[in-house]
Amino acid sequence: MTLSEKQKMLCGELYDCKDPELVDLRFRARRLMRLYNTSTEDQLDRRQELLAEILGHLGQGVWIEPPFYFDYGSFIELGDKVYLNVNCVILDCNRVRIGDQTMLGPSVQIYAAYHPIDAVERCAGPECAAPVTIGRQTWIGGGAIICQGVSIGDRTTIGAGSVVTKDIPSDVFAAGNPCRVIRSLKNG
């Protein structure tokens, strides 16, 4: 059985982003993103309706400050009481899961998408994507970049401006470029 380009994308295989199904999904996402980002404070019910239409899973009490940018939206799963500040970008070419009560500062960028390192392969056009998981009660400081395939544990704090290229465990403060664990946040 041959996989569709969408299935390849979600399985972490090389895929063609120009595939008509994926192009249609991105056009749909762009339309919804534009509606969300131009909504006003007196349209809060409409914003929630749009988020429910955009996202793969929308927990209770989610708040996303516009503008908010994404590739598909449908591969983003947000737990309860998740907060995203202004200018957050999620390139959800694979699953992006964010746990309950997690907060993202302004201009946080999450990239499930990436390209082959080999120039010949990259120039041939196929892209790659790997899932990103952020745990519960986690704080991602403003301007942080979370790269493809990364998992960040529960109750962890990522310092502002950090570039997270590798998994970060639960209950730590991590920062830097590349991001590394600075200290434990466990009591006792």
pLDDT per residue as tens digits for the range 139-149: 999 999 999 99
Provide the angle, in degrees to the nearest 10, between the axes of the packed helices 44-54 and 20-37: 170
Instruction: Residue 171: give the domain boundaries.
Output: 12-184
Total domains in the chain come to 1
State how far Cα 174 lies from the chain centre.
19
Q: Could you tell me if residue 144 is inside a domain?
A: yes
Q: Could you tell me if residue 5 is inside a domain?
A: no
Is 115 catalytic? The answer is yes
pLDDT per residue as tens digits for the range 63-118: 999 999 999 999 999 999 999 999 999 999 999 999 999 999 999 999 999 999 99
Largest CA distance in the chain: 55
Q: Could you tell me if residue 179 is inside a domain?
A: yes
pLDDT per residue as tens digits for the range 38-55: 999 999 999 999 999 999
DSSP 5-73: HHHHHHHT--B-TT-HHHHHHHHHHHHHHHHHHT--GGGHHHHHHHHHHH-SEE-TT-EEPSPEEES-S
What residues contact 84, with CB distance under 8 A and at least 6 apart? Answer: 63, 64, 65, 68, 103, 104, 108
pLDDT of residue 1: 81
Q: Is residue 188 scored above 70 in pLDDT?
A: no
Task: Look up the CATH number of the domain holding residue 60.
Answer: 2.160.10.10
Q: Could you tell me if residue 44 is inside a domain?
A: yes
Q: Give me the percent of the chain exceeding a pLDDT of 70.
A: 99
Q: Could you tell me if residue 119 is inside a domain?
A: yes
Which of 112, 107, 54 lies closest to 84, judged by CA? 107
Q: Could you tell me if residue 110 is inside a domain?
A: yes
**Residue in 31, 34, 46, 115 annotated catalytic:** 115
Q: Could you tell me if residue 21 is inside a domain?
A: yes
Q: Could you tell me if residue 146 is inside a domain?
A: yes
